[in-house]
């Protein structure tokens, strides 16, 4: 059996097949991530109800929507702080500890949101309390997502990193699917009046319970072999990890931030915002929009794994190029096609959702961009700062673009996919650099 402490044995170890332990780690990590991401994302599916309940009744509809999306954006703005702090300790003390902490930090505020009084009961205290809890959720997910990618990538052979990151991302997107299914069920079981009265609370209360179950699941995971090896060799970073990242890995930071922009365009616009936009732009009923969104999100869950496998087989450059081009075309076809014939809603949305699966390639590039000693910090800083900027502003930008044209969301996605294609071109020109192969210990 190869000895991980012997450099000559690293090549056989890197090419070993996936084991049952690897599969168990991926399954537990993906399931826990799904439950935590459900907690974070369920807010989007009840944004309209929350806007009516947590702001004055005489607020203009467009202003209420902007304020609600502002609460959505605040969670993204809080992500960098939580992510950077957790990543610091993840690089210094261990990946597993932070992996468990992040899910606990998500469960508590989710449960509390389900118990909050509304504006009618406590006035402006209600939106302020919601603001604080959304910030806590943002801090938690800021550590969860990059930490999860690092965790699974360091548990599997190098040649299966694409599959591992794609599977974990698939788990995170399955959390969105859970949110969509729960929202669909709530809207079918209860009348609109009942949803406003109490039905909107149910998904948050259930999410809090899910979160504590995810905490339990994380107990069964072991520290990554890569971190354990660094600890044995006393190769952990001695200075502030983020300082080392910003001093020596600026190109990796830039590439990671641009690819995070691509990820936000796919997830935030195509998956999260579209179900609401369909109702406003094309008169699709809430139930129809949510059902189509569930189909698209299921396609996305499958797409993440497929694109991850493609990254392992074809390389990240080809997988990224194909995925960005496909996402650009299918998003345009979706918005144009639904506008012409709403009957094509489900198949077009399913196709676009599958192509959003290119986001499964993004973490594969990012975990390979940074050396293990600062991998968590480098990935977390790049991803969370970029998501705070692009993910937080995207809903407002898309709202403004939609006022000018119903195709506004498709034009935005197309522009960002163009950025992704330029990054793929850069990675291709870079050749077998640190972006093309996992950094050595």
Report residue 203's pLDDT band, with 50, 70 and 90 as the boundaries.
very high
pLDDT value at 240 more than 50: yes
Query: Do the beta carbons of residue 317 and residue 427 sit within 8 Å?
Result: yes
The number of beta carbons lying within 10 Å of the beta carbon of residue 159 is 15
Tell me how far apart the alpha carbons of residues 79 and 83 are, in angstroms, rounded to a whole number: 6
Rounded distance between C-alpha atoms, residue 81 and residue 330, angstroms: 35
Q: What percent of the chain has pLDDT over 90?
A: 34
Question: pLDDT digits over 260-273, tens only?
Answer: 999 999 998 999 88
- Going from the C-alpha of 289 to that of each of 180, 215, 272, 283, the distances in angstroms are 10, 32, 11, 10
pLDDT, average across residues 284-311: 90
Q: Which regions of 313-388 does DSSP assign to beta strands (E)?
A: none
pLDDT at position 11 over 70: no
CB count, 10 Å around CB of 67?
17
CA distances in angstroms from 11 to 15, 151, 193, 195, 265, listed in the order given: 6, 20, 62, 57, 37
Torsion angle, CA of 229/235/241/247, rounded to 10 degrees? -130
pLDDT digits (tens, 9 = 90+) for 368-420: 999 888 898 899 999 988 988 887 788 889 988 988 888 999 999 999 999 99
HSE of 309, CA atoms in CB hemisphere, 13 A: 5
- Of 368, 365, 380, which Cα lies nearest the Cα of 82? 380
The single residue listed with the structure tokens 């699917």 is 177
How is the chain split among helix, strand and coil, in percent rounded to 5?
85, 0, 15
Task: Indicate if the pLDDT at residue 325 is higher than 90.
Answer: yes
Task: Assign 215 a pLDDT band (cuts: 50, 70, 90).
Answer: confident
Query: What was the pLDDT predicted at 15?
Result: 64
The rounded mean pLDDT for the chain is 84
What pLDDT score was predicted for residue 14?
54
For the chain, which domains are there?
21-226+242-430 (1.20.1250.20)
Question: What pLDDT is recorded for position 158?
Answer: 85
Mean pLDDT of 344-358: 95
- Name the least confident of 97-111, 312-326, 331-345, 372-386: 97-111
- Give CA 6 to chain center in angstroms: 36
Residue 434 has pLDDT above 70, yes or no: no
DSSP letter string over 134-182? HHHHHHHHHHHHHHHHHHHHTTS-GGGHHHHHHHHHHHHHHHHHHHHHH
Residue 438: pLDDT above 60? Answer: no
Of 52, 81, 51, 88, nearest to 67 (Cα)? 51
Sign, CA torsion 270/273/275/276? negative
pLDDT (0 to 100) of residue 254 = 94
| pLDDT for the residue numbered 140 | 87
Q: How many CB atoms lie within 10 A of CB 410?
A: 24
Cα–Cα distance, 290 to 45 (Å, whole number): 9
DSSP string, 52-90: HHHS-TTS-HHHHHHHHHHHHHHHHHHHHHHHHHHHHHH
Q: Is the pLDDT of residue 94 over 70?
A: yes
Whether 172 shows a pLDDT value over 60: the answer reads yes
Whether the pLDDT of residue 9 is over 70: the answer is no
How much is the pLDDT for 26? 86
Is the pLDDT at 221 greater than 90? The verdict is no
Q: How confident is the model at residue 441 (pLDDT cuts 50, 70, 90)?
A: very low
Per-residue pLDDT, 114: 92
Higher model confidence: residue 69 or residue 166?
166
**Rounded to 5°, angle at Cα 330 from 324 and 335:** 130
Please write the tens of the pLDDT for every residue from 122-136: 888 988 999 899 989
Q: How confident is the model at residue 360 (pLDDT cuts 50, 70, 90)?
A: very high
In the numeric block, the tokens 């179950």 are attached to 213
Distance CA 253, CA 255 (A): 6
């Amino acid at each position: 059996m190869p000895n991980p402490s012997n450099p000559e044995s690293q090549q056989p170890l890197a090419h070993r097949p996936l084991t049952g332990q690897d599969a168990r780690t991926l399954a537990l990590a993906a399931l826990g991530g799904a439950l935590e991401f459900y907690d974070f994302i369920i807010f989007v599916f009840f944004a309209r109800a929350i806007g009516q309940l947590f702001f004055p009744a005489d607020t203009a509809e467009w202003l209420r929507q902007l304020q609600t999306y502002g609460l959505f954006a605040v969670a993204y703005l809080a992500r960098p702080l939580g992510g950077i702090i957790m990543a610091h300790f993840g690089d210094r003390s261990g990946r597993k500890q932070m992996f468990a902490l992040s899910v606990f930090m998500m469960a508590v505020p989710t449960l509390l949101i389900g118990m909050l009084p509304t504006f009618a009961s406590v006035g402006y205290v209600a939106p302020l309390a919601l603001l604080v809890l959304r910030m806590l959720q943002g801090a938690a997910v800021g550590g969860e997502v990059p930490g999860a990618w690092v965790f699974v990538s360091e548990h599997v052979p190098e040649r299966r990193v694409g599959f591992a990151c794609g599977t974990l991302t698939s788990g995170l997107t399955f959390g969105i699917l859970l949110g969509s299914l729960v929202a669909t069920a709530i809207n079918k079981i209860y009348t609109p009046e009942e949803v406003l009265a109490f039905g909107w609370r149910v998904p948050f209360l259930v999410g809090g319970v899910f979160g504590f179950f995810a905490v339990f699941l994380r107990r069964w995971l072991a520290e990554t072999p890569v971190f354990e090896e660094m600890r044995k060799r006393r190769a952990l970073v001695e200075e502030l990890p983020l300082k080392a990242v910003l001093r020596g890995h600026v190109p990796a930071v830039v590439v990671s931030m641009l690819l995070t922009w691509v990820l936000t365009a796919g997830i935030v616009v195509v998956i999260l915002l579209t179900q609401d936009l369909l109702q406003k732009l094309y008169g699709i009923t809430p139930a129809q929009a949510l059902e189509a969104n569930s189909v698209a999100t299921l396609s996305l869950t499958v797409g993440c794994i497929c694109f991850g496998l493609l990254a392992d087989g074809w390389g990240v450059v080809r997988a990224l190029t194909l995925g960005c081009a496909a996402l650009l075309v299918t998003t345009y076809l979706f918005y144009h096609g639904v506008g012409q014939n709403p009957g094509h809603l489900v198949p077009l949305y399913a196709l676009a959702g599958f192509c959003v699966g290119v986001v499964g390639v993004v973490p594969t590039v990012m975990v390979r961009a940074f050396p293990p000693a600062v991998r968590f910090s480098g990935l977390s800083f790049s991803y969370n700062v970029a998501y705070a900027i692009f993910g937080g502003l995207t809903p407002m930008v898309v709202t403004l673009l939609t006022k000018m044209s119903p195709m506004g969301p498709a034009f935005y996605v197309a522009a960002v996919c163009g950025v992704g294609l330029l990054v793929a071109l850069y990675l291709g020109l870079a050749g077998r650099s640190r972006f093309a192969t996992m950094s050595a210990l």
